[in-house]
Amino acid sequence: METLSTHRAHGGAQGVHRHASAATGTEMTFSVFVPPHAEGARLPVVWYLSGLTCTHANVTEKGEFRRACAELGLIFVAPDTSPRGEGVADDPEGAYDFGLGAGFYVDATQPPFAAHYRMWSYVTEELPALIAAHFPADMARQSIMGHSMGGHGALTIGLTFPDRFRAVSAFAPIAAPARVPWGEKALAGYLGDDRTAWRAHDAVALIEDGARLPDLLVDQGDADPFLEEQLRTPLLEEACRAAGQKATIRMQPGYDHSYYFISTFMDEHLRWHADRLRAA
Amino acid sequence: METLSTHRAHGGAQGVHRHASAATGTEMTFSVFVPPHAEGARLPVVWYLSGLTCTHANVTEKGEFRRACAELGLIFVAPDTSPRGEGVADDPEGAYDFGLGAGFYVDATQPPFAAHYRMWSYVTEELPALIAAHFPADMARQSIMGHSMGGHGALTIGLTFPDRFRAVSAFAPIAAPARVPWGEKALAGYLGDDRTAWRAHDAVALIEDGARLPDLLVDQGDADPFLEEQLRTPLLEEACRAAGQKATIRMQPGYDHSYYFISTFMDEHLRWHADRLRAA
């Protein structure tokens, strides 16, 4: 692991790191904030998965998470959203919603994407092992959150590993990718046309199929231009209601899909995570 | 005035606006955060002047000021750092420290810069009038802060208008531009070689010449790579001591010159401003 930069911030250290990923077969860049802590302490880890077009940098610069993480003693990890570099396939037309910057947190099975697009394995296996090895992390206390495509990632990963993540939350998640244009394009492109394979990567389908979380927090802006066609929060509300899944899903008046929205509610999400990460 | 964008954030509105400036003879873009407030209320205004290479966008995205401004009821205004556009002269070699993005908050007297580089008039006269006309601002309650070149701007403007600004603070200011390479280049280029004309745009010289502030707060990172050659905080400390100028000048261990530093101390600066802006 190579450290590309580190900056003192809020009494801790904001780093950006790069490593050769076995999962994706590429170099991968990610950021980690380590809050001030006592020598030898092991700290809970919050995973943040980003949305379409983002890298680690968007939330690192605009997420306004460091103040609360410093106060609450949380490590904050922000991976990239896809493999990148020489030989990594992209959307044939270079669209923003598939390929580079749009890995959708799945392991692709379809050529040419299967070669490198293995973001599920990267985020759930390889990067956690790297974090455990190089940072003062208590891997028995992890939680996960994300935005938009990353909200989809946080929900599907959280639902798949309910014993690993003590808290799961999302900002404007793509709640039912199998039923919306962004998700249909991505899941077909990465996983093929058999829709049964998509259900493991659709939060609403996972809940319908019996997966459960201890609890769930979702914030969604009602002025988000993607709400109706791509995010479809009501499908998540309905699935939680039908399944008896405990959830707090809030429509936030006037908020859009931007980091101005995320940074407004970041503090509250981190406190909600910390309550669960610090419980005995 | 044309509004280019507006985003709901922390219960208020983060806007970006453009207007044709009479001072600079160009279009100028700036950002304003208006916190949540009661209908008809008039709110104090905090001016934030940015550093070399910046536009309004850097602090708007990375400054982490909105949460505190929302809580404290402060309007936050971030101007650009120079005129821009067709026909605006730049550094002959396109250097980052003079010309575009580097107006140094002076009214240039030297050709070809005198035509458009009138940032002093823009920030102290034209933009305040625009803010007063278009926003719920109480212009009897203003304060000013800035970073690096913008710290220089905040100090020199604050020292020149001690009755206008109830609080003045800076992050890593260029404290004595007449005695450092960045400032010597800029002041000679904009104001000419007569160094007596520079004293009105040098915080240390202004204090030596008798200008005073009610109080002053400065934070400076001790890992800032520009500290020794360009910022020279000790000259400001010495000038304040010699003049009996009340000041809190803090060396912050491990912090550099970046927005990771600024955003760490932004909250504290805003609370310090608010205490003074809300006093009777």
Model pLDDT for residues B188-213, shown as the tens digit of each residue: 999 999 999 999 999 999 999 999 99
CA distance B2 to chain A (A): 20
ipTM surpassing 0.90 = yes
A11 contacts in chain B (CB < 8 Å) = 264
Q: How far apart are the first and last CA of chain A?
A: 33
Question: What dihedral do alpha carbons A58, A64, A66, A68 form, nearest 10°?
Answer: -140
Of the candidates B130, B104, B132, which has an alpha carbon nearest to the alpha carbon of residue B119? B104
- The residues, ordered by sequence, that sit 6+ positions from B140 with a Cβ below 8 Å of its Cβ are none
| Helices marked H in chain A | 56-62, 66-72, 119-121, 127-134, 149-160, 181-191, 203-208, 233-243, 259-277
CB atoms closer than 10 angstroms to residue B126: 18
H or E segment to which residue A31 belongs: strand A27-34
Tokens of B82: 């120079």
Q: What is the mean pLDDT of residues A214-236?
A: 97
* CB < 8 Å to A255, chain B: 8
Of B104, B97, B95, the C-alpha closest to B50 is: B104
**pLDDT > 90: what percent of chain B?**
99
Using a CB–CB cutoff of 8 Å, tell me whether B222 touches chain A.
no
What is the average per-residue pLDDT within A121-143? 98
Residues A150-169: what's their mean pLDDT? Answer: 98
Half-sphere exposure of A144 (CA within 13 A, CB side): 26
Element (H, E) at B154: helix B149-160
User: Token digits for B276?
Assistant: 């003074």
Is the pLDDT at A49 greater than 90, yes or no? yes
- Of the partner residues B9, B221, B261, the one whose CB lies closest to the CB of residue A263: B9
Mean pLDDT of all residues in B250-263: 98
Q: Which of A9, A223, A263 sits opposite B260 (nearest CB)?
A: A9
* Whether pLDDT at A229 is above 80: yes
How far CA A162 is from CA of A118, A216, A236, in Å, comes to 21, 11, 18
Q: State the average pLDDT over residues A18-41.
A: 98
Residue B280 pLDDT exceeds 90: no
Average of per-residue pLDDT values in chain A: 98
Model pLDDT for residues B135-184, shown as the tens digit of each residue? 999 999 999 999 999 999 999 999 999 999 999 999 999 999 999 999 99
| Residue A280, pLDDT above cutoff 80 | no
Any B CB within 8 A of A181 CB: no
pLDDT for residue A154:
98
Please report the pLDDT score of residue B279 as a whole number: 82
CATH topology of domain A2-278: Rossmann fold (3.40.50)
Q: What residues of B act catalytically?
A: 148, 224, 257
| Burial classification of residue B86, based on how many CB atoms lie within 10 Å of its CB (0-12 exposed, 13-18 middle, 19 or more buried) | exposed
- pLDDT at residue A279 in the model: 83
Mean pLDDT of the A228-233 span? 97
pLDDT in tens, B42-86: 999 999 999 999 999 999 999 999 999 999 999 999 999 999 999
Residue in B with minimal Cα distance to A7: B260
Contact A178, A199 (CB under 8 A): yes
What residue ranges in A103-151 does DSSP mark as E strands? 137-147
| A11–B62 CB contact, under 8 Å | no
The arithmetic mean of pLDDT across residues A165-178, rounded, is 98
Residue-range domain boundaries for chain A:
2-278
pLDDT confidence bin for A148, thresholds 50/70/90: very high
Burial class of residue A245 in the structure, from the number of CB atoms within 10 Å of its CB (0-12 exposed, 13-18 middle, 19+ buried): middle
Q: What is the pLDDT of residue A33?
A: 98
Tokens representing B41 are 């209320």
